[in-house]
Amino acid sequence: MRKAMITGITGQDGSYLAEFLLGKGYEVHGIVRRTSSLNRSRIDHLRSYEQGPAPRLILHYGDLGNSAALVKLLYELRPDEVYNLAAQSHVRISFDIPDYTIDVTGTGVSRILEAVIQSGIGRAVRFYQASSSEMFGKVQEVPQRESTPFWPRSPYACAKAMAHWLTVNYREAYNLFACSGILFNHESPRRGENFVTRKISIGAACIKAGLQDKLSLGNLDAKRDWGYAKEYVEAMWLMLQQDKPGDYVIATNETHTVRDFLEAAFGRLGLDWRRHVEFDEHYLRPTEVDLLIGDYSKAKRELGWEPQTRMKALAELMADADYRLTKAGRLCPFGKPEESGFGNIESICDSGSPGARAAQLDSVPR
């Protein structure tokens, strides 16, 4: 049985990737960090894989700040594939906590790559690094491709650029099978609530349900290439199945403004966003990335990967999912989701009452 290790398994992408790999028959080892309250709602629905005599989902405590634990885990587990998805991933917040962001999102990658070497697994493992279109920043070419020069515009993007080059360097220096996936923005009903798409879908749902009337946002002119996270995790896996390691842009090759996303999400719920959205300068960034649009032709040619879901359909599926949550009483006013089962939105909406779900959470020790 093939064995994969995922850092960042509790995040949006980690949860979809875990599902995808379990579906392919992998044994999946997820690294979780210690938090004062459990923070695993996006993978709660996978709990059955953790149980029984031969579990296929196994969680381990670890942190990208802790080299020794990474070496030990890699030495003991000897995974076939490592997906490094862990990061402080919020761009604006990286201006508030730059050292921390650089330590986790940048230096953390040096720690895990070095752990691959120190654990002795080296060439035996295939390594995926979650790189970002934010590295293109003040874009030097439109659309952006693998060879487009980087001009990072935030501490987060600087850290990701360092991590990208470390991945390339370890590939060249130690002949590691190390790939850098340069993913453009990808979203889903599991997206963190403080990224703009999810803020919009939650806001629209709560306004529609009469729970709030206003939604505060920053720059509505920024253009992003938004795809569906569930489809992007397959591209990560495909990169690690090739004969040779490489770097790939994953995108939709379409770009839309935040305004367009508002139009699609609010429109889906029969709302006019102009009546509800107000400007708050708090959400502006000291330096902004104005335009992202990716050229995924290398991924199409070499991986056979293509996006299926475009911005409008994505905004609609997110608005639908959050509206179902509000109707089930699971989204509070001001867009603050309740704790229980938050990440498992697709299945919560189809089954189980909030109370039953909360009880289920309480009854299983973790």
Where in the sequence numbering do the catalytic residues fall?
132, 134, 156
Q: Which is nearer to ligand NAP, 127 or 269 (CB)?
A: 127
Q: Which is nearer to ligand NAP, 198 or 208 (CB)?
A: 198
CB of 301 to ligand GDD, least distance (A): 22
Who contacts 147 (Cβ-Cβ below 8 Å, separation ≥6)? none
Q: Which does 64 bind (CB under 5 to 8 A by kind): ligand NAP, ligand GDD, none?
A: ligand NAP
* Binding of residue 134 to ligand GDD (CB under 6 A): yes
* Binding of residue 8 to ligand NAP (CB under 6 A): yes
Q: Which is nearer to ligand GDD, 280 or 339 (CB)?
A: 280
Q: Which of 3, 4, 12, 212 binds ligand NAP (CB under 6 A)?
A: 12
Chain positions 81 to 100 lying near ligand GDD, rule: CB under 6 A, are: 89, 91-92
- Rounded distance, CA 105 to CA 65, Å? 10
* Binding of residue 107 to ligand NAP (CB under 6 A): no
Strand order in the sheet with 126-132: 57-61, 27-32, 3-7, 81-84, 126-132, 177-183, 247-250
CB of 135 to ligand NAP, least distance (A): 9
CB 5 within 8 A of CB 74: yes
Q: Which of 50, 165, 195, 361 binds ligand GDD (CB under 6 A)?
A: 195
* Binding of residue 234 to ligand NAP (CB under 6 A): no
Q: Which of 21, 28, 86, 303 binds ligand NAP (CB under 6 A)?
A: 86
Q: Which is nearer to ligand GDD, 194 or 353 (CB)?
A: 194
